[in-house]
Amino acid sequence: DVAGLVELRSTFARLGLSIPPTVIDSGFEGQITLEVHGGAFPVVLKRGVRFAHIVFFRVEGEPVPYRGRYQGQRGVTLPR
């Protein structure tokens, strides 16, 4: 099975942006919601710009599939 970790691309980190650690659990299906924090000066993120990437890795042992409340989410989902 596979899980993922969303990371900010270094170019945008150098501009002052940051994102909290975002783990994509094994078995998750849906759209990923990211929280982006700005820095000391404005940075414009235009549609389609590659500001983050996902590092995928294999899960060893018996995987525990994601069955949380955000399974299958589309768009931004408020905390439940």
**Tens digit of each residue's pLDDT (9 = 90 or more) over 27-58:** 999 999 999 999 888 999 999 999 999 999 99
CATH code: domain 2-58 is 2.70.40.10
Please give the Cα distance from 15 to 25 (Å, whole number).
Answer: 29
Residue with structure tokens 């650690």?
21
Q: In this model, does residue 25 exceed pLDDT 80?
A: yes
Share of the chain above pLDDT 90, in %: 72
Residues comprising the chain, all counted: 80
Given the residues 7, 35, 60, 62, select the one marked as catalytic: 35
Q: Say what the pTM is.
A: 0.79
Quick check: 65 and 27 in contact, CB under 8 A? yes
Instruction: For residue 35, indicate whether it is catalytic.
Output: yes
